[in-house]
Amino acid sequence: MQKKLLVLAAGILQVPVIKKAKDMGIYVIAADGDANAVGLQYADKAVVVNITSEVTTRASISFYNSEEDVLRVAREERIDGVIHPCSEVSMNVMGRINEELGLSGITKLQAIRATNKHLMREAFESGNAPSPKSFCFEDANKAWKCFCKELPKDGILKPSRNSGSRGIAKIQKGLSEVQFVELFNRAKEKSRDKSVMLEQFVEGPEFSVEIIAWNGEVNVLTVTDKKTTEAPYFVELGHNQPSCFPQYTVDSIKDAAVAGVKALGVMNCACHAEVKVQNGEAYIMEIGARLGGDFISTELTHLSTGVDMVAAAINCALGIAPCLEPSEEKHGVCIRYFCPKPGRLVSIQNTEVLDDSRVYLWEIYHKEGDMIPEVTSSLCRSGHVIVTEETPQKAIALAERLINEVKMETV
């Protein structure tokens, strides 16, 4: 009998998952609150429904808890599994569906722990998984006093519930209370539960770890090197696989990520761990119990490891043992993002350089006449290019050359 999979969200990052599930012979129901979500057209059945479990406000209209609506869809369709790839806004809904329908995957409590950075930090501390010193506040003045007293060096402010670098800011010793409060309130505005994390700033390179957790085993597929903007926003500008760092560094990153996944207690799902290394010590920034965004899990991982991580995550959601053996050729792979100067986009030139056999995928998100914003979050980037080469070092060099050769002029 054909399996049925509910995919929560149907944006550009979810399209590879929808397509892969269909290629696997699975009947796909895609649900999204946006009737124009690009992924809906690829599903066997499209459902337009608010997939979050929180109150949101648009044009003075409040849209309340929709868990019941999504749960009703899951029951009526008699699904065999549910997946929420490359996003976190519906993790709680997915966890409840798993619980109430007896499906494979994380529970609602595990989903809450994996999307609330404060609860995540508590789990890491209880499980002896290495992570930065952190505090959680709703009040800016209390956070300011803690920053002055408890953190001897620089810190980070970040929404306790959000992703994509939204609302993150580095705070340096010596800044004024007024500046601190301004950055705190910006993070609070971006936080889905209106609380803010104040954390020790970890100085060093940033990585992600792509993982499949199945039946108590934490299987690390690869470590991803990250390129980010400088302070204050730390927006990701690109990634490469496999890591270019020494093996002992990669091993310490893997060990930290495995400890973090075990501390969260999640199982039968993909995981995306973010780690930084300072003075040779690995610190877990956060772990998502889901496929990573930015095409890391959906494209880069199969290109670099030969392992189809998307198929593995789909099988986990359906309660089927995932295949973690390579099934395709391995490459060095790199993604870089287009980030032209802010202003009105007046021309896009020289895209013909992207007509290269080593270019796996590319897209420019804007057209002439659009306004290009300052890059303060991942939503502000203007396009991407993914390339493959013999080594990650060669892939990085190629991707960065192409990013520079495509001209996006602004005024």
pLDDT digits (tens, 9 = 90+) for 301-314: 999 999 999 999 99
The pLDDT confidence band at residue 60, using thresholds 50, 70 and 90, is very low
Q: pLDDT (tens digit, 9 = 90+) per residue, 329-339?
A: 999 999 999 99
Q: What's the whole-number average pLDDT of the chain?
A: 93
CB of 82 closer than 8 Å to CB of 124: no
Q: pLDDT (tens digit, 9 = 90+) per residue, 178-214?
A: 999 999 999 999 888 889 999 999 999 999 999 999 9
**Predicted local distance difference test score (pLDDT) of residue 163:** 65
* Of 62, 115, 72, nearest in space to 90 by CA: 115
Mean pLDDT, residues 382-399 taken together: 98
Mean pLDDT, residues 237-264 taken together: 98
Residue 312, C-beta contacts closer than 8 angstroms, at least 6 positions apart: 212, 270, 322, 323, 324
Model confidence at 56: pLDDT above 70: no
User: From edge to edge, which strands make up the β-sheet containing 343-349?
Assistant: 371-372, 343-349, 407-410
The strand pairing partners of 277, in sequence order, are 282
Model confidence at 61: pLDDT above 50: no
Model confidence at 62: pLDDT above 50: no
What is the percent of the chain where pLDDT is above 70?
96
Give the Cα separation of 382 and 388 in Å (integer): 21
The structure tokens listed for 69 are 């609506």
Q: pLDDT (tens digit, 9 = 90+) per residue, 79-124?
A: 999 999 999 889 999 999 999 999 999 999 999 999 988 899 999 9
The structure tokens listed for 350 are 């020289």
**Predicted local distance difference test score (pLDDT) of residue 53:** 61
Mean pLDDT, residues 216-244 taken together: 93
CB of 213 closer than 8 Å to CB of 149: no
Mean pLDDT, residues 150-155 taken together: 91
Phi, psi of 399 (to 5 degrees): -60, -40
CB of 314 closer than 8 Å to CB of 21: yes
Tell me whether strands 27-32 and 4-8 are parallel, antiparallel or unpaired. Answer: parallel
